[in-house]
Homo-oligomer: A and B are copies of this chain.
Amino acid sequence: MDRIRRYPELAGDHRRDLDAVLDAAAVGTLATAVDGLPWVVPMLYARDGDRIVLHGSTGAGALRQVAAGAPAAFSVTMLDGIVVADTLFDSTANYRPAVVRGCLTDFSGDDAVHALDLMSDSLIPGRSSEVRTHTKKELAATLAMALPIEPGCWTVRVRDAPPPEPSMDSVGWAGVVPLRTSACEPIPAPWVGADMPAPESVRRLVANGSP
């Protein structure tokens, strides 16, 4: 995938591009080094201004190590389309990979409540205002963490373009197949009556077509 560095449309590293990727995706991969070996775990996350908010169980061992300040890298990628060229070599993807490097800090109290609400609202906008707030027991079981987005500690690349132009007369079709992720019709839990309407946040999510 590194080969696409050759294309000028991948230049950039604009903060607004980073924010767009972080706000569009829902899952990223958290990586750290444990005893010199790579350790990775996919995690739901939310962006909260100049930080990425993550959460996990207070029981998770390696996660605790990361939360304790070990250097970490968080990777998020949006795959926007498949780029079909005349050759396999020039075929690629329109994608937006982002990496944020830094040290995680854990936090608690009102800050944790705000962060956990944000995580839910990032997946389902408006959801946190429809349900009760977190109990002390729930907060005690949850490790809330933040990764700061600091200058010089992140990269984002944006490929959003047709295939590279062929050097000789193109003999065949070339173009882009866009990919789109949509929210589909909600499936009620088994104990929920079929006549109970989904909450407004869920109906809005489906109406908007995507998370």
Contacts and interface: CB of A to CB of B under 8 A. Distances in A.
Nearest to A60: B2
Given A5-B57, A31-B31, A86-B131, A120 B141 contact: no
Interface in A30-59: 31-33, 36-44, 55-57, 59
Interface of A: 1-3, 5-6, 26-27, 29, 31-33, 36-44, 55-57, 59-60, 63, 71-73, 75, 77, 79, 82, 84, 86-89, 91-93, 95, 97, 99, 101, 116-117, 119-120, 123-124, 127-128, 130-132, 134-135, 138, 141-142, 162-163, 165-166, 170, 172-192, 196-199, 202, 205-206, 211
A37 to B, nearest CB: 5
A27 B93 contact: yes
A179 B180 CA distance: 10
A123 B26 contact: no
Contact of A57 (B2, B44, B82, B187): B2
A198 B175 contact: yes
Contact of A88 (B39, B117, B191): B117
A26 B191 CA distance: 36
